[in-house]
Chains A and B, each alone.
Chain A
Amino acid sequence: MAADVAVPALSSEEAAEVLAQPTPIAAFWAAFRENRGAVFGLVVISAIALIAIFADFLAPHSPIEQFRDAVRAPPIWDAGGTWRYALGTDGDGHDTLSRLIYGARVSLFIGLSVMSVSFVVGVVLGLLAASVGSLVDVVITRVMDLIMAVPSLVMAILVVAVLGPSLANTIVAVTIVYLPRYVRLVRASALGELTKDYVTAARVAGVGPLRMMVATVLPNCLAPLIVQAALGVSDAILEAAGLGFLGLGAQAPTPEWGTMLADSREFIRSDPWIVALPGLAILVAVVAINLTGDGLRDALDPRMRRS
């Protein structure tokens, strides 16, 4: 996009500013800010996070209270809509707006828990595979290959079949499904780093194996890992919503967006908005996170930059 932007002449102060070594965070922010889409994504996702945090204050009603006198009330822009239920109510009389607001909490919770657990476990297993080598490496790699061989949703279905459908088990299932990505990424970048001179230097200096992997090698593998983690949040949200849609995720009346969609499927002809809104919420959240993730990638890892 920036192909034919002319380079402006620099004043002496600007030149000094350019020449001064920026802190890593400042450099990152400068690169990230350039990507308008990414900043927009970050704004949207921050808004969703705020909504999730302050759901108790923002939601007009409880997400699980059933208003028996207002079942399938129309949203405000439809004939008969009232501000009392601004986005209408669903087939059980739940207020849709309140459920969407609390749903942000559920979805972000799923996305962040899956991401943090698979991040930590992925780093541990990946570093183990790369440093210990031989049998440990083979076992870890094979198990990850196995998980990758089973289509993500099918694997999640198998896990849920064993554990039973619930919000917690959704997180377990999706974590298992996305673990291989982190493990493989950490293992591959750690193996790459281990051949470099600074590692040899550290080894000669007498750095122990644990300190070597965690303090010396790991920080150099972080950039692609952070990008993966950001994009992993949106994938986890999508996957969990898919499970919820199939009736295998969070169970009603938990206000999970995918579950809300599944529960309202029967009203697709009569009250389409009950179906349309939860999906729109999923799409907005996922698009925002993906935009941010792309921006992170461009800013953190110039090699992965998508021209």
Chain B
Amino acid sequence: MLVYFLRRLTLTVPTFIALMFVTFAAIRLVPGDPVEVRVGEHGISPERLVYFRHQLGLDLPVWQQFLDYCWRLLHGDFGVSLSTQQKVLTEFLTLFPATIELSLCAMLFAIAIGVPAGAVAAVKRGSLFDQGLMTVSLFGYSMPIFWWGLLLIMFVSVKLELLPVAGRIDLINYYFDQPTGFMLIDSLLSGQSGAFLDAVRHLILPAIVLGTVPLGVIARMTRSSMLEVLSEDYVRTARAKGLSPFRVIGVHALRNALLPVVTVIGLSVSSLLAGAVLTETIFSWPGVGHWLIESISRRDYPALQGGVMLVSTVVIGVNLVVDLIYGAINPRIRHGR
């Protein structure tokens, strides 16, 4: 187990180094001189320019700049945002809980509907429900979610006025400290009546939008995996020994059918974060996706660089943990190469 752990861990090191190189190189390739961007259009005296270049380390050879960059990253220094003058890491950490909260709720929505629906469709294979669900799931994973979000806003928020259009909470009526950054928890902690419900109401539409693609994928995966399991011998045995159909399907079959589904869920962090960029933009959700898009339109390249670095680090980290857990559960993965 330790060998597997170490081997898997060392595999991420080159990926991480390459990631540092790519973010470094990308921002250096952006047209425009970073000093000129910082001082604005009016320009400054040549002496000041040399001073600034020296201060930013731009007078050093490129390889030394790269090593400096890596060194700073390894010490948790992801640079300073040009537009807010705040540390990129601080900004990221303030905004990230909003993205986690949204992504978790979206995934929960997708699982809560996708798994039972997929299982029922498999059991009632060929039925109207099955065909209906497969059509819905096809549309689910084909959905341009930015359009889907706008449609929902159009009908649910604007026409029916059921749910709020944007943001995480009604800032006019509710204002409180956010010790955790998770609105659902903070609103409960605040003790203000109605705050939690308002946070939930803000969360519903974004979570549905972000959860739509995973819902389609999960429903379909559960169905096909369940179909495979239902033809296994142990399911027939369970039936033969007189267990109730509910127990056979709900406990014996579903538990085994879920293994590949869990794999897909575990490895979907990356696509979930990509979807979060779009979802957060539509709903003005103050998370890291919205922030990345904002920093690109403000030409805030340090924020973009640090943001990409941090988001990718999260993905690499989560994928590593997922792999390690599989290794712990499944010896075949551990010993295979």
Tell me the bound Cα distance from A148 to B315 in angstroms.
9
Tell me the bound Cα distance from A258 to B292 in angstroms.
19
Q: A3-B125, A154-B292 are in contact. Are A241 and B281 (CB under 8 A)?
A: no
Q: Is the CB of B271 within 8 A of A151?
A: yes
Tell me the bound Cα distance from A113 to B24 in angstroms.
28
Q: A261-B147, A307-B228 are in contact. Are A157 and B292 (CB under 8 A)?
A: yes
A142 sits at the interface (CB 8 A): yes
Closest to A275 in B: B150
Q: Which residues of A contact B301 (CB under 8 A)?
A: 161
Contact with B along A118-149 (1 / 0, CB 8 A): 00000000000000000000000011011011
Q: A154-B292, A234-B142, A258-B144 are in contact. Are A272 and B312 (CB under 8 A)?
A: no
Q: Looking at the complex, which one of A142, A151, A290 makes contact with B274 (CB distance below 8 Å)?
A: A151
Selected interface stretch from B14-22, B70-78, B190-198? B14-22
Tell me the bound Cα distance from A19 to B175 in angstroms.
76
The binding surface of chain B is classed by DSSP as helix
Q: A161-B26, A265-B150 are in contact. Are A242 and B19 (CB under 8 A)?
A: no
Q: Looking at the complex, which one of B31, B143, B158, B292 makes contact with A269 (CB distance below 8 Å)?
A: B158
Q: Is the CB of B278 within 8 A of A150?
A: no
- Residue picked from B228, B270, B273, B319, most chain A C-beta under 10 Å: B270
Tell me the bound Cα distance from A1 to B271 in angstroms.
31
Closest to A165 in B: B296
Q: Which residues of B contact A148 (CB under 8 A)?
A: 270
Q: Is the CB of A157 within 8 A of B296?
A: yes
Number of residues from A at the complex interface, CB < 8 A: 48
Q: Is the CB of B292 within 8 A of A142?
A: no
Tell me the bound Cα distance from A279 to B224 in angstroms.
29
Contact with A along B297-324 (1 / 0, CB 8 A): 1000100100010011001100100000
Tell me the bound Cα distance from A246 to B297 in angstroms.
10
Q: How far in angstroms is the closest Cβ of chain B from A289?
A: 8
Interchain residue pairs with CB less than 8 A apart (27) = A3-B126, A146-B15, A146-B22, A149-B315, A150-B19, A151-B270, A151-B312, A154-B277, A157-B292, A157-B293, A159-B26, A162-B27, A162-B30, A238-B144, A242-B144, A246-B281, A248-B296, A261-B144, A268-B153, A268-B154, A268-B158, A276-B151, A282-B147, A283-B139, A283-B144, A291-B138, A307-B227
